[in-house]
Structure 1
Amino acid sequence: MEIDIATIGGYEEVGRQMTAVRAGDDIVIFDMGLNLSKVLIHDNVETERMHSLDLIDMGAIPDDRVMSDLEGDVQAIVPTHGHLDHIGAISKLAHRYDAPIVASPYTIELVKQQIEGEQKFGVDNDLQKMEAGEMLEIGDSGNVQLEFVNVTHSIIDAINPVVHTPEGAIVYGLDKRMDHTPVIGDPIDMDRFREIGREGNGVLAYIEDCTNAGRKGRTPSESTARGHLKDVMGSIEDYDGGIVATTFSSHIARVSSLVEFAKDMGRQPVLLGRSMEKYSGTAERLGFVDFPDDVGMYGHRKSVDRTFKRIMNEGKENFLPIVTGHQGEPRAMLTRMGRGETPYQLDEGDKVLFSARVIPEPTNEGQRYQSEKLLGMQGARIYDDIHVSGHLREEGHYQMLDALEPQNVIPAHQDMKGFAPYVDLAAKKGYTLGRDLHVTRNGNIINLVE
């Protein structure tokens, strides 16, 4: 069976992920993501109102023209998890393909919301839920199957999809960390990865996220971040002024820890910001988390400002606002607070907790720097980097290569500089650049089996 892999997006940057695997006449697409930094550098860009061609020209979504060079029919579009760099372009590109969107329950719900917000295209692809551990027949040959393997990441319900072919398995390894004690959900299923590496013809190709490949050691568990957060919040428990926290809106495990520890401090947690309301509200509705009844979630600007007024009237010492804006996004809640554009007034000594790390990209770094300076000018004391990454470090990558023993390795989710540490690691494991270690770029096709 002929096997091709089209590396469409995410092979020259962190963001706009998209990869296609052709097995004979059947094609599976993994991810259709947005490069948010390409959007943020433009003022007041509303992607839901823009045409896909304009977004492609901006470098904001994948240029999928290379798909016309693959001979076969797309049988499934498979987003691995609900982050925008993996699902943000589905509303712009999925309608081009007569194929269902297949994803885990939380991810499919986020995709549904993404499609409902689209104002340019009518996206009516079927939405199909599939749980980790399940298998789906792809095409009519009976020789190709799609499997979901449970992984742990900084968003719940993440999976690594596997395409099983007569030539071996193709494992799409974006995005994960090796968490054996997660705060929400099941641990990473390393037993299944090891089985896949030993079954049939083994693993023909492994496509891997290289985000933290240059960092030594292993990525700590989310339970470590939870302990760090508990320590920080316990240290300021007696402070009688304002405490504000921010984290990734999609990081439900972290949000749930913030809510729990706020209650322990005697403060009422309030979730503020559109994305905070979207991700947490969806997670609660689907039963992934059970927040206390008095936890408010407010996304609309007027509702948020009313809540801020209530907090100021009833006393900042009684509340913990959990807000958007950890990357300094211009229109996010925390950034507006720093600019003095909300009814919430920061006073000298008030605490701002960043339970997130700056995404290592110039736009984010610049915005975060500006946000912290504005908060500091109002007297805020900043607690930074209360966080663990959602991506594997060096030893996690080493363990994955040991578990899967892939015949071919394809680094992804980085630029050329970011690939270098992973290439070095793979070379030490016996892989050779240009033979079985394929460093590629957006828009290329790798022919694995002719």
Structure 2
Amino acid sequence: MEIEIATIGGYEEVGRQMTAVRAGSDIVIFDMGLNLSKVLIHDNLRTEGMHSLDLIDMGAIPDDRIMNDLEGDVQAIVPTHGHLDHIGAISKLAHRYDAPIVATPFTLELVKGELEEEQKFDTDSDLIEMEAGETMTIGDEGCELEFVNVTHSIIQAINPVLHTPEGAIVYGLDKRMDHTPVIGDPIDMERFRELGREDNGVLCYIEDCTNANKKGRTPSESVAREHLRDTLYSMEDYDGGIVATTFSSHIARVKSLIEFARDIGREPLLLGRSMETYSGTAKRIGVDFPSDVEMVGYRHAIEQKLEQIMNDGKENYLPVVTGHQGEPRAMLTRMARGETPYELDEGDKVVFSARVIPEPTNEGQRYQAEKLLGMQGARVYSDIHVSGHLCQEGHYTMLEALQPQNIIPAHQDLSGFSGYVDLASDKGYTLGEDLHTTTNGNIIQLV
């Protein structure tokens, strides 16, 4: 059976992920993501009403026209998790393929929201829920799709595996090796080790290289939780304002913020549209998440809530707001510019429970936001966080477990691949033979 892999997006940047695997006449697409930085540099740009070709020209979504060179039919579109760099282009591209969208329940709910907000294209794909540990038949040529549970900075993330007669294709985006997560099950390393020993083994491993140039091991989310606990408990006696921000999609981190706010005698509030979207979705599908926290998503209602905070006393509340990357329209950035009823005073605390995504636009916006907060007198607590991506020792462990015949680094640019290439080379892989560094818009023939 011929096996080809089309590296469509996410092989020159951290973002707009999309990869297609052809096994015989059956094709599976993994991820359809957005490069959010390409959107944020345009002020007040709304993608819902834009055409896919305009977004492709901007570099905001994958250029999927390379799919015309794959001879076969798309049998499934499989987003690995709910981050926008993995699902943000589904509403723009999925309508081109007569294929179901298969994902875990939380991811599928977020995809539904993206499709409902889309104004340009109608997508009538079937939406199929599949849990980690489950499998489904793909096409008519003996292929099977499996979901392996992984841990990431969003709940219900999986690594999909396409079992083919020639061996397994493991799509390894995105994960960290967390054995003590705050929500959900630990990473299923036992299953990864089994995959490396089964039948024809692992034909190809496509790996997330976000942190491949960083030595050591990525800590567990439980480490970030204790760091956050220590930080907020240290503010227990402060009688002014405390504001926190984190990834809206990071349900485990938001849960910790809610719990620790209450521990120090403050009422947590989730403010911002994306905060309401992700946390509200988690509550709806029955995730272990506080059911009584107030969420406010729309601008006018948020302004009213901030006025209430100022009237009742900032010392009684801990608003958790959007803006961890310094996004210009986000709530925290507007607070920093003095554009909201919430007034920052000398000594007020601002907790960034997130690191900057390593991309120039984000780095510049975050720097500006922190400077503006400092000019208001705020004390900024940065990087109360652990990454959602493997560092080098995690990559070493995955290669030991899977023993893949071929490797394709992804989720970085060429300089970001260098640490992974060095590691794989030390493990006996050869660049250009079984270690395939590539760029967007290429097709790699494995069999």
Band of TM-score, shorter chain = over 0.9
**Residues 230-259 of structure 1, C-alpha deviations (whole Å, 9 max, x = no match):** 000111110000000000000000000000
CA distance in 1, matches of 2:35, 2:107: 18
Match for residue 376 of structure 2 among 354, 362, 378: 378
| Runs of 4+, deviation exceeding 2 Å | none
Q: Which residue of 2 aligns with 1:302?
A: 300
Q: Secondary structure at the match of 1:47?
A: coil
Q: Give me the TM-score of the superposition, normalised by structure 1.
A: 0.99
**Residues 188-244 of structure 1, C-alpha deviations (whole Å, 9 max, x = no match):** 000000001100000000000000011111000000000000000111110000000
Q: CA deviation at 1:402?
A: 0.2
Q: Which residue of 2 aligns with 1:439?
A: 437
Q: Which residue of 2 aligns with 1:196?
A: 195
Alignment of 1:180-219 (within 5 A): 180-219=179-218
Q: Which residue of 2 aligns with 1:20?
A: 20
**Residues 128-175 of structure 1, C-alpha deviations (whole Å, 9 max, x = no match):** 00000001000023x100000000000000000000011000000000
CA distance in 2, matches of 1:319, 1:54: 43
The residue type paired with residue 339 of structure 1 is R
Q: Secondary structure at the match of 1:123?
A: coil
The residue type paired with residue 15 of structure 1 is G
Q: CA deviation at 1:42?
A: 1.0
Q: CA deviation at 1:292?
A: 4.6
The residue type paired with residue 445 of structure 2 is N
Q: Which residue of 2 aligns with 1:271?
A: 270
Q: Which residue of 2 aligns with 1:83?
A: 83
Q: Secondary structure at the match of 1:148?
A: strand
Alignment of 1:218-237 (within 5 A): 218-237=217-236
CA distance in 2, matches of 1:187, 1:3: 31
1:115 aligns with 2:128: no
1:39 aligns with 2:30: no
CA distance in 1, matches of 2:288, 2:333: 28
Q: Secondary structure at the match of 2:422?
A: helix
Alignment of 1:54-133 (within 5 A): 54-133=54-133
Sequence identity percentage: 79
The residue type paired with residue 38 of structure 1 is K
The residue type paired with residue 128 of structure 1 is I
Q: CA deviation at 1:124?
A: 1.1
Q: CA deviation at 1:291?
A: 1.0
Match for residue 410 of structure 1 among 383, 408, 411: 408
Q: Do 2:106 and 2:155's aligned partners in 1 also have CA atoms closer than 8 Å?
A: yes
The residue type paired with residue 97 of structure 1 is Y
Q: Which runs of 5+ in 2 are unaligned?
A: none
Q: Which residue of 2 aligns with 1:284?
A: 283
CA distance in 1, matches of 2:313, 2:284: 30
**Residues 63-96 of structure 1, C-alpha deviations (whole Å, 9 max, x = no match):** 0011010010000000000000000000000000
CA distance in 1, matches of 2:357, 2:441: 25
Match for residue 326 of structure 1 among 324, 330, 334: 324
The residue type paired with residue 423 of structure 2 is L
Q: Which residue of 2 aligns with 1:179?
A: 178
CA distance in 2, matches of 1:344, 1:50: 34
The residue type paired with residue 66 of structure 2 is V
CA distance in 1, matches of 2:132, 2:79: 13
CA distance in 1, matches of 2:442, 2:214: 28
Alignment of 1:235-274 (within 5 A): 235-274=234-273
The residue type paired with residue 60 of structure 2 is A
Q: Which residue of 1 aligns with 2:309?
A: 311
The residue type paired with residue 54 of structure 1 is D
Q: Secondary structure at the match of 2:48?
A: helix
1:426 aligns with 2:424: yes
Q: Which residue of 2 aligns with 1:156?
A: 155
Q: Do 2:34 and 2:86's aligned partners in 1 also have CA atoms closer than 8 Å?
A: yes
The residue type paired with residue 23 of structure 1 is A
Q: Do 2:148 and 2:159's aligned partners in 1 also have CA atoms closer than 8 Å?
A: yes
Q: CA deviation at 1:289?
A: 2.6
Cα-Cα RMSD:
0.5
The residue type paired with residue 343 of structure 1 is P
